[in-house]
Amino acid sequence: AAADGTTASQHCAGEVGTAPVVAPVAVSPALTSTAPASTAIKDGMKRACPTVTDAASFAAARAALRQMGGAAALRAELEGLGFIAEGKLTTGTKPFNVFARVASGAMAQPGMEAETAALGARSERFMIACNRPENDEHWESADAEWVGKASMGKRHRFMLVRDLSWSCFNVLTFGMEEDVIELRAAVAMLEEMEAAAFDFAANTEGWSGSVGLYFHVYGHASVNALH
Q: Which residues pair with 22 in a beta bridge?
A: 108
Is the entire prediction scored with pTM above 0.85? no
Task: Give me the pLDDT at residue 16, please.
Answer: 34
Domain boundaries, the chain: 2-23+36-213
Compute the C-alpha angle 14/212/163, nearest 5°. Answer: 75
3-state helix, strand, coil in the chain (%, to 5): 40, 10, 50
Task: Give me the pLDDT at residue 147, please.
Answer: 86
Task: Give me the pLDDT at residue 148, please.
Answer: 79
DSSP 3-32: EESSPPS--TTS-------B--S--PPPP-
Per-residue pLDDT of the chain (227 residues; tens, 9 = 90+): 766 543 332 233 333 333 333 333 332 233 333 444 689 999 999 999 999 999 999 999 999 999 999 999 999 999 999 999 999 999 999 999 999 999 999 999 999 999 999 999 999 999 999 988 788 888 888 888 888 788 888 888 999 999 999 989 999 999 887 778 888 999 999 999 999 999 999 999 999 888 899 998 999 988 999 99
Contact 169, 207 (CB under 8 A): no
